[in-house]
Amino acid sequence: MYQEIIKLIRKIYDTDNFIPLHEPRFRGNEKKYLNECIDSTFVSSVGKFVDQFETAVAKFTGAEYAIATVNGTAALHIGLLLADVKPNDEVITQPLTFVATANAISYCGAHPVFVDVDKDTMGLSPEKLKAFLEKNTTIVNGKCVNTLTNRIIKAVVPMHTFGLPMRIEEVVEICNNYNITIVEDAAESLGSYYNHKHTGTFGSIGTLSFNGNKTITTGGGGMLITNDKSIAEKAKYITTTAKVPHSWEYHHDMTAYNYRLPNLNAALGCAQMESLPGFLESKKNLAEKYNHFFKKNDAIEFIEPISEGDSNFWLNAIRLSNLEVRNEFLKATNEAGVMTRPIWKLMNSLPMYKSAQCGNLDNSEFLENRIVNLPSSVI
Ligand SMILES: Cc1ncc(COP(=O)(O)O)c(C=O)c1O
């Protein structure tokens, strides 16, 4: 069986060489814009490509404002700070995510609390979130307080796993009832929609990543998206060291961050945004090929988006029957030069988050032992 899958992937990518999980494609104006950027000498955090890239991402996602950052983790960090997350607050997120989601919460001095995902979307479960909040919280002076720890739950960070849209509208409704701000981690879901609205635009703040392994890349890079002008202005300010505008004086009125995306990276981003529609088309075709193949196989399930969701199919995922089979599959494919990877270990199993409060995590534990990503680069 594994040999058949390896054969399929080799046929799709038409190569006998090593097949990576997700490699970038530079087939458009990347070199032209990079050269233009170098010639202009504006290679750092000021320049026309940063503005152009932000405009392109805002237009594509339908967000009013977009603020480019050095990476997606920095965007999350700033997003949480602007959601008023302070030391000793709590932030709810899913245990099944890339470590950056939980780390950004820690950077604020806050405590992550892990609530389960849905089995089908692999993103934060509205049902489990509601149950957790009903059982563990009370509203005091308009704030949601965790009755176990006495700490304020300031924000919820849902994440659209591998580009598959999670049930964000339901999470928004629940959070509104509890007066909790949503910072939507859309690092993996540029080009994914829930009920035809772009992911990352449901919460007060959404964040994107343009790391080398993402659907489009700027080498390293990220973006904060929002419809709130005041959040957008603050985001730009604190990602650029809180420098008070002046022609020559260096005056900074708070401890802030040097998180602005350099123009050089943004030049790459502008070219990648031009290619994005083509990339998404190619990824959709690839997902259809995988889906068609796995429909004939009862033991392996290809993970499809739920009916409300349109996925960018950033990383295609399959569900194997148990941990042993998963491990055999990973060994067979990787030894054959076809790169596959397991889903992340649950955040609450990592040393730094071991003592975090958790809800019932049945679905996350089930998925942790079974989900594997297949090669998903644009063809
Ligand atoms: C879910 C998630 N959140 C956050 C990040 C952080 O993005 P970056 O690597 O650009 O810092 C990533 C990706 O790397 C991610 O997959």
Nearest 10 degrees: Cα torsion 141, 205, 373, 284: 130
Which residue minimizes the CA distance to atom 4 of ligand 1?
A: 100
Supply the pLDDT for residue 1: 80
Collect the ranges in the chain with pLDDT lower than 50.
none
Supply the pLDDT for residue 298: 87
Residues enclosing ligand 1, CB less than 6 A? 71-73, 76, 97-98, 100-101, 159, 185, 187-188, 209, 211, 222
Supply the pLDDT for residue 142: 96
> Best substitution site from 157, 164, 188, 192 to test ligand 1's pocket, by max atoms within 8 Å of Cβ?
188
pTM: 0.98
